[in-house]
Structure 1
Amino acid sequence: MSTEHGAALAYPDRRYPDLVADHAATSPDAVAVRQWDSVLTYRQLCVAAGEVAARLRAHGPQPLVGVCADRQPMLVAGLLGVLASGAAYVPLDPALPPARLRDIAREAGLRTVVCDVLGAHLLADAGLELLPLPERPSPGPSSDGTPDRAAAGNAPASGAPVDSAPAGHGSADCAAAADDLAYVMFTSGSTGRPKGVMIPHEALTEFVTSLADLAGLGRDSVSLGFASIGFDASVIDLLAPLAAGGTVALAGTADRADPTRLQRFCAEHRVTVAFVPPAVLPVLDPSGLPDLRVVLTGSEAPGPEQVARWTAGGRRFLNLFGPTETTVLVTWFEAGGEWDRPLPIGRPAANHWVYVVDERLRRVPDGVPGELLAGGAGLARGYLGAPDVTEERFVPDPFSGVPGVRLYRTGDLVVRQPDGLLHFLGRVDRQVKIRGQRVEIGEVEAVLRSHAAVGHAAVAAVDGPGGVQLVAFTTGAASPQELHEHCTARLGAAMVPARITVVPRLPLLSSGKVDLDRLVADTAPPVDETPFAAPATPVETEVAAVWAELLGLARVGRDDDFFDTGGHSITAMRLVAALRPRLRRDVAIEDVLQGRTLRAIAARASAAAVLGEEPPVRGRPPALSPAQQRLWFLERYSPEAAAAYNIVLAERLRGPLDRQALADALTAVAARHEVLRWRIPDADGVPYAVVDPVAPVPLPVTDLSALPTAERERELAAQLAAEAGGRFRLASDALWRHRLFRLGEDEHVWAVTAHHAVFDGWSQAMLYDDLATAYAGTPLPPLPATYGDYVAWRVDRREQRADSDLDWWTSHLDGAPTVLEVPGDRPRPAEQTYPAGYCGAWLDADATADLHRFAREHGATPSAVLLAAFGLVLASWAGQDELVLGTPAVDRRHPDFEPMVGFFVDITPLRLRADPGGSFAGQVRAARDELIAALAHPEAPLERLVQAFGLGGQTVRSPLVQVLFNVFNFAAPRLDLKGLVSEPVPVPAPGSAFDLTLYGVERDGRMRLEIVHNSDLYDTSRMDALLDSLRQVITRGVGHGALTGGELAPSRGVVAVDSPRARVRPVRPDHSVNVPPATATELAVAAVWCEVLGRDAVGAVDNFFDSGGGSLAAVTVQQRINRMLGRELRVVDLFRYPTVRALASFLDGATTADGTDDAVAQALRRGAARRARTRHRAASEGEPQ
């Protein structure tokens, strides 16, 4: 029959704090908790816990005390201190919404909460007494954040300060009885109220003893602290290791949220035991964690394929199963070898027993499914303040014959096979696991029904692309958006429905229950009862039609918000591009960004000037855009910079690849997009475009299939890096190239490297769409225009608006700092360099959803939120109260250019002010306004701004903009080749054009943040820390918008750069000649300058760049001086010696080709003759001389 008992295991009649105090007495300087270089020894832990306990006792007896703190070592001291005081702790996870925290505090009847600064902010208005955690102790032995082997285990932390209190002080005197409560863990409640599970001390002591025996915990173990304190797995992570004398490696918020950082954290802390949720197992690399001996997992069924990955090399892999009501664990199973089926949940843990029963609580035979009943030493006392629910779920054991023995009805549907192993089949009630968290569907329904405009609500759990998700159906007048915000404010992220549909009524079964299957399966369009205001004017109708088409909507109402319906800054540009020719009005991007609703956008469009511009003129000879001219100049100025402007994409292709079809498809793409056939030579220092005829695109193949797997992947990475770093010669090379790597019969990697002059980030989507179409054998239609047409159109637009936009920029940036100096690890070289380093991190799905929610609530885009957070972090690190950084502005304002590959990007400066006393929400609004204003003035390119402010002569750093904010408001494109499955392959950036660049792009509902930095200036560890700061500001800021800039990103104490030349001031060229040239070389240099700058005369101390000279003019000067004087002048020399006199002195130190000065005299005579001819022509045509 389906019953089984676990082994009998003795456990001490001791309270948990006593067990920890024993280790403090015997090994006071052993490390108890570590988080990088923040360490608590057992002595320090017990002293801090004793301080908490003493202060709680001074406040009088309290049965329950809350703990709400960020993930830092003192959090553990807070938990231990509450237990030592004789009270039970109630964990309050600061990641929960404040309303949810207040609900838990109210249900628990809390009077006091032990908290840190974050917890105090979250609970400031909850009417609770807030007891601060003790101050953080001094750092431990490792100042660089890398624990050594001794410190990571139980060896003394010799560098940490040793408190004077005796070992074991403070937390050893726990007077609680075995049946007194140790903690109350709140879980989802079917009544709509959270349920508090009451765990007594005896159950806690039994569990930590049992787990130590099962997992081999001891003084040499280092356990990963990963779980949230509001999740019962935290007892595995935080409490059990300390009872065994081991070390807790407590992962911080940023480290636990990003797989790459978590991998590094585990490796560098030398974690030996880790509870890893099933969702995290696939994203960690077991081979990189050689110290990890035991992997524990649970809460959901782990993928069977994970067993072989994690048990390689003899590592143990244990699948744990148990509800909170059984103190974490009731059954377990140790797996090994290859598995191709779901893992069983195993057999009962020590001191526990289970039964499998039918709905009448009768035992069922092996092989027959039934509900799991659990009994044993780990059983909870029941539910706090809910005797009826306790009586329903905790029932007398009818099988043991022992009075007073109870069983817990888990609600889990299981089957026991003849081999004695239990297998989990699902739920018999309405409880589900969402992202590892237990969710009571009834609670979600109750929260929905609590909205005043909801009549009825029903929620179902369905399989979605990211696993199980909730879908909700409501009746009444509340819109899905309103209900989503209502739930987000009251429920944890896992409990918020992924989709909410408003229906006229809820269909019922004959039993009277809601027919959820019919609701979910019904394919008819959901009926939205929200009042709909139809477009009321012809312009509103036109705007609504384009809006709906762009975002794939059935309809758009007058009061719909563009961003709430899925729009972002890029789609706003597309909306403007489509509206301009249809309305014949000069609709601008700010009309969408500021108007937001259909009503407001249409009103602004109606008030816009009638459009006078003609469609783009076709067929002009192709010219270079200002941005392309700048890239050409940078290659001439600093050849080592060339790789910094390579864009690299790589895709792993699985399936039967047709190589010839891929090569033909690439040729078809090049035929359609003329710019991919451009080369950029020059004549006399002036670059121009040459369009090559259509020809087959080379697709060389490198075969790596014979190499072993690990070596093959290493070689692939090395060759991809070499491809990425290969320089393009703009004058002679095709400006995109391809390589195919063969890894196996049905596995390849295709890599494309393109020069930025012909390709930008937005072009990736066009390339992938066209490539997929052509690979499938469908001809590509010709484009309505060429990239050369775009450049000509842009020049025409710029001529119309350049002066007004330049006036706006010179006013807007007047007085702004010209330098943003993030402190580096090494001195800045005398000339700008370009080697790249890289780091990256993820915002998880919940944090990304919070980011979008916060943006919607504050009338901003996610980019504006990220910009505000980035600005605060940069200001904190650089010690500046204001700063200028750049952002790419995509210019595809005409619909003819939207489907085109090319370089449509200008760098736009953004002026941000960091207000330490202003709220994060205010910073976001300011960042939003700055983005809108900057995008509204696109016709003054960065090169012209640099010239206008006299910043063009810099050689140390890029002028005006040293940091780039490059966050895409769209999901990363996916390559969909017929018959193949593709997966992006990350390729490190081959160079860094700026000091640092922040990239952001959303993939599969998560935001990926990456920093490419100049590795001559910064170590990756410093950029990791900056990225960590950024993620913390984002997650805390979007969760608590009232937090100030100073609270989110306090100053790091760096002195700001504020020299007299560190502020932007417009430069007015001074054409007066104060000091005339004197020597022959000065006269020759001055003659060349006059020709290039269009001046009659220049002075010996005139600065070339202050006199109107720019980058391209500098190249022309360089070439003419070399040709006329026979010198080997480099472009960089003009930047180093920017006055006539300085450059002439430098030239006098060089030698001519024939060693004479005749070239100087000849050059002067030729220059004088040319100027005379020019004056004569001007006079004969009646022009003023």
Structure 2
Amino acid sequence: MLFTSGSTGRPKGVVVSHRNVAEFVTGWAGVTGAGAGVRALCASSLVFDAVVIDLFVPLLLGGAVQLAGSDDRTDPVRLARFIAAHEVDWGILTPTVLSLLDPADVPTWRTVLCGGEAVPAELAERWAPGRRFVNAYGPTETTVAALACDLVATETDPVPIGVPLPNHRVYVVDADLRPVPPGETGELLVGGPGVADGYLNRPGLTAERFVPDPFSGLAGERLYRTGDLVTQAPDGRFVYHGRIDRQVKVRGQRIELGEVEAVLAGHPGVDRVTVEAVDGPAGTELVAFLTPADAPDDAALAAYAESRLTAAMRTARTVRLAELPVSPTTGKLDRSALRALAAASRPQPAADEPVDGDPVTRAVARVWARLLGAAPGPDTDFLAAGGNSIAAMRLVAALRAELGRHVDTRDVFAGRTLAGLVRRIAAAAPDAGDGLTTGNPPTLSPPQRRLWFVDQIAPSSAPYNIAVAHRLRGELDVPALGAALRAVAERHDVLRWRIPQTAGVPYAVCEEPTDVAVPVVDLTGGGDPEAELARMLAAGAAHAFDLATGPPWQVTVYRLGPAEHVLAVSWHHAVFDGWSEAVFYDDLAAAYAQAVAGDAPGLPALTTRYADYAVWRAARDRRRGAEDLQWWAAHLRDAPIVLDLPRDRPRPAVQTYAGAEAAVTFSPVADRAVRELAERRGTTVAAVLLAGFGELLSRLTGADDHVVGAIVADRRLAALDDVVGFFIDTVPVRVRTGAASFAELVDRCAGELHEVTAHPGAPLEKIVEALGVGRDTSRAPLVQVLFNVLNFVQPRLALTGLAAEPVPVPKPGSPFDITVYVVERGGRLGVEVVYNPDLFDADRIEALLTDLAGLVGALAADPGAKAAEAAPELPRPTVRTAQLGAMAVTAEPARPVVLPAGPDALTETEELIAGIWREVLERDGVGVTDNFFDIGGHSMALAAVHARLTAATGRSIAMLDLFRHPTVRALAAHLDGAADRPELARAALRAAARRSRARRNPSRRPGGTA
């Protein structure tokens, strides 16, 4: 039973069936992307029908609900903190409340639902970029919502209310219930599974509003007459134009003015009454007009109405008249005159004393006057001036922005007067600044430098590409698409970066905006177009970007028919991450809409760019890097640096970065057990699955201590939400199992995940260096297995006039032995794995995933038992046992080493290499058998050595060779033996060695230590 307001002074109960709710939940979940992993916000009162969205949708799908208390619901600052602290990623608010929040304060909230009132275009402009912004429409009689649509930042007023939810039917009709053509205004009728049974004990009203459906041809179907006037726009969305009757929205609640009038008319001192809804300082407010002129005072009317009307239905003020105004033309009530009287009756609080020159007082008074419509005096009472909880929320939001002080609605109501509020603000702490500067030149971040280095080692592979594709149905305007892509690249300058190097040091160069190439590949010429598409998508995803020349991304359109295309886009990870995908889609949608409308696409310039993040991060790392690195060194002391899983073939001597994929979905029982355990332990699903994965690793390796990688997004500043770029860090997570219950393992993993994210000042390469991890060309240092939770809502592309559907694209490579992705598909948890097929057979990986799902289900079902005792048959022997000889590393053929004449003598090649090492490492001596990484060498130093060595010899030398031959003698022997013309190579090396000697102290003599 859901209640709404009626026209007779009594609440109307709407009989909503379980089927109505079930159909709504299913349809709403599909439209808004809700699923089992959703962290939903519940900020609605339990008597407001939006609570069906807040509670039933996430709970029936196995999601989590974050219940906001009354203090949080009424205070925008507290509400924003609540959303951020509870990592809310899905939820609905009314436009009034949403307008008081800053999108930058709630970065995890990726699907924002808005309903209950008309959404202004300005709100869409603020909230649509970088996330899904969904407008929802529907009366209670159609089970909460019947229409919805995604809004973009370029919407104009009146904003569309959407298109029908799945299986819903809508019609626009005239007064005689005859359909009107698209573009003409009429009453909106709604049919389908959401239509309620009717009103409780109100058969007459039910028959009036719930009418037979004459259009669908379905026997017994009914339509609900909404009383709303709408038109259907050319794009199919519906636009709201007001009410046929006198129903209004106040604070998100539907109020029928007749009900308020009926209650007030029941007072014995009132003869006639009418109520109007007018714009007030806190949104829509109600004004009552009464006769006679000596009708009861406000206090008496308020006491009478308090027990008869809800807070939203009570009038803000009362105007007493001898007679209600009547139009001389029609003889009807003159509502225009009433609205003019309402405006004139707004109280103008007297300024008891002039506001003094105190800056804080002046600022508070200025904001107060702007919101409440009158300048306050020091003793002006906030409530007496027309303030309420909504006005207090707006006041708080404005004061925080203007004064930079930590103030909330409790200060407003406790201070009450202007002077009292000023005193509380003066004592409030300032908001902490983030130290972010803007306008910085292109600057590489540590994660970008790390990927650049990997690119130098394996320039022909693509393990760090991100590739997506969408099937577009409809008429695609390719020139408009190209113009839109250019606009996106203009807004996000990191897409125009290239990364060259000088002397082994990479740096960023930003190119001027130019057209983005959009080649169109026609696949309609015969054969199997879908097979050819799959082949070409895989090839495009594996494209090796040249970071030095750029651009670091590419676009291709595949034509499958006149109204069917596939748009494929790939980026190098150095300029793009998963979060960037939604930002890119939103900006592309906005620019494409402009282009197809015939306008030159133009997106607003970003205040903050990726370079600003890189500079901010560098400052942060300098400030706290030493302390964080010390923590990492202590935390990982004695931790294993190699994680070798049973495999099917020997590990190649050089890491290949090849990739293949496999996936498994958990059973409903396991899914439920994992979620319930996470809820009971007060942690995340990720912690539960990491603990289960750790137990699997223990059984596969026989060890109870492992290091796996985890992904941390470094978008810690709200200003970075709408910035495309690479904000990802890989952090080593220590997973220790041992003789513990599974619940204890979950708690341990939850604590570990919390700890590692709290020490961001030391990038992975610094941690590797601090731990003294030796370099091994056959595997990644320290982290060979990655555990990644994809906990953001899958972004959706929405281009004007086109239906977009994602097309799977294979991942082009694997930077680790195995990468485990925790995902949610179809409302159920699952695991997707990218693995290196040069190490593992597909059968082994598929069996491993099946056993992982089974083991996690068994562990979660009995978390109090010892983890080591659960499902002892898992993993199966085929997973647990390596193939014979497969745990070895493939040996490389050794080149003969020609020793110099004397034991301490150096060849010309050795002398050249040793000299470069001394210069780069700033050492006085380098032994010919010293390992480069044991004497202070690291990745970027190796890049500098590589640049100087190639310049000195004039030869193309693979950087990987410096890893494979990490001593002076080994590298010299390799270079001498690898030349096409050894005699010419030796001559060049002798000349380079002489130049190197000339730059050094001439008194230095070569010897056993160079």
Matched, 1:1027 2:849: yes
State the AA in 2 paired with 1:705. Answer: T
Gaps of 5+ in 2: 2-14, 30-35, 58-65, 98-105, 112-129, 132-398, 407-426, 595-600, 890-902, 1005-1010
Spell out the pairing of 1:757-776 with structure 2 (5 A cutoff): 757-776=574-593
Matched, 1:864 2:683: no
**Match 2:746 to one of 903, 916, 924:** 924
Q: Which residue of 2 aligns with 1:460?
A: 18
SS at match of 1:1091: helix
State the AA in 1 paired with 2:829. Answer: M
Matched, 1:896 2:719: yes
Cα 1:502–1:732 change in 2 (3 A) is closer
Gaps of 5+ in 1: 1-429, 431-456, 472-492, 507-515, 522-527, 558-565, 587-605, 1062-1074, 1176-1185
Matched, 1:1093 2:921: yes
Residues 937-989 of structure 1: CA distance to partner in whole angstroms, max 9, x if unpaired? 11211111222223352111111111111111122111122222222111111
Shift of 1:1032: 1.7
Distance 2:67 2:550 in 1: 60
State the AA in 2 paired with 1:618. Answer: G
Shift of 1:813: 0.7
Spell out the pairing of 1:1036-1075 with structure 2 (5 A cutoff): 1036-1048=858-870, 1050=872
SS at match of 1:830: coil
Per the normalisation by structure 1, the TM-score is 0.48
Distance 2:867 2:792 in 1: 27
The question of whether the paired residues in 2 share the 8 Å contact of 1:1127 and 1:1150 is answered with no
Between 1:800-809 and 1:1043-1052, the stretch displaced more is 1043-1052
Cα 1:866–1:699 change in 2 (3 A) is same
Matched, 1:543 2:81: yes
Distance 1:609 1:814 in 2: 40
Q: Which residue of 2 aligns with 1:879?
A: 702
Cα 1:744–1:499 change in 2 (3 A) is farther
**Match 1:945 to one of 756, 767, 780:** 767
Distance 2:462 2:72 in 1: 53
Cα 1:535–1:910 change in 2 (3 A) is same
Q: Which residue of 1 aligns with 2:240?
A: none
Residues 76-99 of structure 1: CA distance to partner in whole angstroms, max 9, x if unpaired? xxxxxxxxxxxxxxxxxxxxxxxx
Shift of 1:529: 12
SS at match of 2:768: helix
Shift of 1:1171: 4.6
Cα 1:582–1:715 change in 2 (3 A) is farther
Residues 603-642 of structure 1: CA distance to partner in whole angstroms, max 9, x if unpaired? xxx999995763224223x2222222222222222234x3
Q: Which residue of 1 aligns with 2:491?
A: 672
Spell out the pairing of 1:531-930 with structure 2 (5 A cutoff): 532=70, 543-544=81-82, 552=91, 614-620=435-441, 622-640=442-460, 642-707=461-526, 711-777=528-594, 779-843=602-666, 848=671, 850-915=673-738, 917-930=739-752
State the AA in 2 paired with 1:627. Answer: P
Distance 2:644 2:972 in 1: 33
The question of whether the paired residues in 2 share the 8 Å contact of 1:919 and 1:1043 is answered with yes
Cα 1:834–1:858 change in 2 (3 A) is same
Residues 34-77 of structure 1: CA distance to partner in whole angstroms, max 9, x if unpaired? xxxxxxxxxxxxxxxxxxxxxxxxxxxxxxxxxxxxxxxxxxxx
SS at match of 1:639: coil
Distance 1:889 1:801 in 2: 17
Distance 1:813 1:966 in 2: 20
The question of whether the paired residues in 1 share the 8 Å contact of 2:453 and 2:943 is answered with yes
Distance 1:465 1:1150 in 2: 70
The question of whether the paired residues in 2 share the 8 Å contact of 1:463 and 1:469 is answered with no
State the AA in 1 paired with 2:559. Answer: R
State the AA in 2 paired with 1:964. Answer: L
Distance 2:47 2:77 in 1: 32
Distance 2:561 2:433 in 1: 58
SS at match of 1:887: strand
SS at match of 1:462: helix
The question of whether the paired residues in 2 share the 8 Å contact of 1:952 and 1:1110 is answered with no
SS at match of 2:809: coil
State the AA in 2 paired with 1:1124. Answer: A
Cα 1:724–1:1174 change in 2 (3 A) is farther
Shift of 1:713: 1.5
Distance 1:547 1:646 in 2: 32
Q: Which residue of 2 aligns with 1:975?
A: 797
Cα 1:503–1:943 change in 2 (3 A) is closer
State the AA in 1 paired with 2:454. Answer: L
Cα 1:1077–1:552 change in 2 (3 A) is farther
Q: Which residue of 2 aligns with 1:1143?
A: 971
Q: Which residue of 1 aligns with 2:300?
A: none
Distance 1:1024 1:675 in 2: 38
Matched, 1:1155 2:984: yes
Per the normalisation by structure 2, the TM-score is 0.56
**Match 1:963 to one of 771, 785, 794:** 785
Distance 1:1049 1:950 in 2: 38
Shift of 1:876: 1.9
Cα 1:654–1:1163 change in 2 (3 A) is same
State the AA in 2 paired with 1:963. Answer: V
Distance 1:757 1:786 in 2: 15
The question of whether the paired residues in 1 share the 8 Å contact of 2:715 and 2:721 is answered with yes
Q: Which residue of 1 aligns with 2:362?
A: none
The question of whether the paired residues in 2 share the 8 Å contact of 1:736 and 1:753 is answered with yes
The question of whether the paired residues in 1 share the 8 Å contact of 2:659 and 2:811 is answered with yes
**Match 1:1109 to one of 937, 941, 951:** 937
The question of whether the paired residues in 1 share the 8 Å contact of 2:608 and 2:719 is answered with yes
Matched, 1:996 2:809: no
Distance 1:1166 1:877 in 2: 55
Cα 1:462–1:542 change in 2 (3 A) is closer
Distance 1:845 1:1102 in 2: 57
Shift of 1:550: 7.4
SS at match of 1:719: helix
SS at match of 1:666: helix
State the AA in 2 paired with 1:1131. Answer: M
Distance 1:1145 1:581 in 2: 66
Spell out the pairing of 1:82-161 with structure 2 (5 A cutoff): none
Q: Tell me which stretches of 4 or more aligned residues in structure 1 moved more than 6 Å.
A: 465-471, 497-502, 528-531, 535-539, 545-550, 566-571, 579-586, 606-610
The question of whether the paired residues in 2 share the 8 Å contact of 1:652 and 1:982 is answered with yes
Distance 1:954 1:582 in 2: 55
Shift of 1:720: 0.7
Identity of aligned residues (%): 44
Cα 1:465–1:1016 change in 2 (3 A) is farther
Structure with greater contact order relative to length (CA < 8 Å, sep ≥ 6):
2
Matched, 1:1133 2:956: no
Cα 1:1156–1:661 change in 2 (3 A) is closer
Shift of 1:1028: 0.8
Backbone CA RMSD of aligned residues? 4.5
Between 1:1107-1116 and 1:880-889, the stretch displaced more is 1107-1116
The question of whether the paired residues in 2 share the 8 Å contact of 1:662 and 1:775 is answered with yes
Shift of 1:1097: 2.0
Cα 1:772–1:504 change in 2 (3 A) is closer
State the AA in 2 paired with 1:1037. Answer: L
Shift of 1:766: 0.9
